[in-house]
Amino acid sequence: MKKILISLAAAGVVLGGAVAFAQEAGHEAAPTHFPIQKPKEMSWSFSGPFGTYDKAQLQRGLKIYKEVCAACHSLDLVAFRTLEDLGYSEAQVKTLAAEYTIHDGPNDEGEMFDRPGIPSDHFPSPFPNHQAAAAANGGAAPPDLSLIAKARGVERGFPQFVFDIFTQYASGGPDYIHALLTGYNEQPPAGLQIPEGTHYNPHFNAGVSLAMPAPLSDDQVTYDDGAPQTVEQYSQDVSAFLMWAAEPHLEDRKKTGFRVMVFLLLFGALMYLTKRKVWADVAH
């Protein structure tokens, strides 16, 4: 055991000397933690205990998904009929669903067939299966975006997560998506090796780079409501839409939580007054 400890100590000295030599030689050590840069906290309409979705922003975000993201990413868990929550009428939802082709069946002859989508259908995947998605994207299948805003995020650490309890911060996913979509123009730090065929993004939380190139550019999608047609605005809108896709009942949840808190406060006050009245004539 003594020999092992001596060997480990010697190895530590050698490693420390190597690091010091590299620093003295002007070489920066490559980052080993990801993301390299954490996303900044954005101001979302749905943030906080009383936040609500901006339906105009959600509609713009849906437009971004349809015209950009849908070429590679699926939205398997979102049904067309739920788009009425974004402010669309029943007729508009039927029209939108009919724009998609749904592979259905078998029919009475036992064969699969294609048909126009209906409101009860879900957004179809752009690929027939996972293997086809991977083959079309250099071996890395694009993830489904249905729950991406809840599945992605960055640990806030202490003491920030303590304050998050009181501020009801639950926007880590949208913050991360926005940062990722707007972070492609940054240069990698010295010493960081980027694999060929991948793209550096300091906000990516799973490695040094990712297979997806920058998906957005200014004036790529035309807005009908006069909103800025910039990467910044596109990123905010699609991030908000993906948050809605992951948690469509967020507003109802917050309303229910507020009612429960009011009830508990009133119930607690009532119990306190009852206790004082019951024990008022009892000698202590």
Average per-residue pLDDT in the chain? 88
26 pLDDT above the threshold of 50: no
User: Quick one: 98 exposed, middle or buried, by C-beta within 10 A (0-12, 13-18, 19+)?
Assistant: middle
The residue written with tokens 């489904």 in the block is 144
**Given this model, what pLDDT does residue 34 score?**
85
Of the two residues 24 and 237, the one the predictor is more confident about is 237
Q: Is residue 58's pLDDT more than 50? A: yes
Position 160 pLDDT exceeds 90: no
For 115-159, the pLDDT digits (tens) are 999 999 999 999 999 999 999 998 889 999 999 999 998 778 788
Higher pLDDT, 17 or 158: 158
Q: How confident is the model at residue 260 (pLDDT cuts 50, 70, 90)?
A: very high
Q: What percent of the chain has pLDDT over 70?
A: 88
For residue 28, give the DSSP letter: P
Instruction: Answer whether residue 265 shows pLDDT above 80.
Output: yes
pLDDT at 4 over 90: no
Give mean pLDDT, residues 20-46: 70
Q: Is the model's pLDDT at 164 over the cut of 90?
A: no
pTM of the model: 0.84
- The answer, yes or no, to whether residue 232 has pLDDT greater than 70, is yes
Mean local confidence (pLDDT), 15-42? 60
C-alpha pair distances (Å), 68 with each of 14, 73, 252: 51, 9, 30
